[in-house]
Amino acid sequence: MKKAIYPGSFDPITNGHLDVLNRALKVFDEVILLVAVNSNKKSKFSVEERVEMIKEATKGLKGVIVDSTDGLSVKYAKEHGATCLVRGLRAVTDFEYEFSLSASNEFIDESIDMVFFMSHAETSFISSSSIDTLYNEGIDISKLVPPSVVKMYKKKA
């Protein structure tokens, strides 16, 4: 069984994330969508809220597991028998960040590979931070995120 970890803050999860997930499911039998807690980032949603939104958004997708960690994704992958970390790329700036992250992960454990999926054009501009900005400005985000995210924003309002 080919297993991968798709780590991210997912604060909140977007349709761009789901696009990458669906493409990863064509390559891997199982993908653990991992909410990675970054203590240096101020999150809009709690870990529990993010996990809840993701579980609802991925309900019915075969081969998806949702979990969270406050440790390193590469260590989590090793502990859970995954051989790859899945990442999405939207722009050149993403590549620079991911290239550096890949080198760090390889230093920690060279047996864990990074697999990258390019965003489709229609989701390439979506980021979790832009979703928050749009929502706070009264813009309808329902075409950019799963319904569970819209519901959670309304719950927080």
17 as an active site residue: the answer is: yes
Which residue in 78, 90, 124, 127 is the catalytic one? 90
pLDDT digits (tens, 9 = 90+) for 62-73: 999 999 999 999
- What's the rounded Cα separation, in Å, for the pair 50 and 10? 7
Mean pLDDT of 10-23: 95
For each of the domains in the chain, give its residue range(s) and CATH number, in order of start.
3-156 (3.40.50.620)
β-pair partners for 5: 32, 85
pLDDT digits (tens, 9 = 90+) for 80-136: 999 999 999 887 777 888 888 888 889 999 999 999 998 888 888 889 999 999 999
Give the model's pLDDT for residue 97. 82
Mean pLDDT, rounded, of the chain: 92
Mean pLDDT of 39-46: 86
Give the model's pLDDT for residue 123. 85
% residues pLDDT > 70 (the chain): 100
- What's the rounded Cα separation, in Å, for the pair 49 and 154? 13
Which residue in 9, 17, 73, 87 is the catalytic one? 17
Which residue in 2, 41, 59, 156 is the catalytic one? 41
50 as an active site residue: the answer is: no
Which residue in 9, 102, 119, 128 is the catalytic one? 128
Give the model's pLDDT for residue 54. 98
DSSP code string of 93-119: HHHHHHHHHHHHHHHH-TTSEEEEEEP
Using N-to-C axis directions, what is the helix angle for 47-58 and 15-24, rounded to 10°? Answer: 60
41 as an active site residue: the answer is: yes
CA torsion 147→153→56→38, rounded to 10°? Answer: 130
Give the model's pLDDT for residue 90. 84
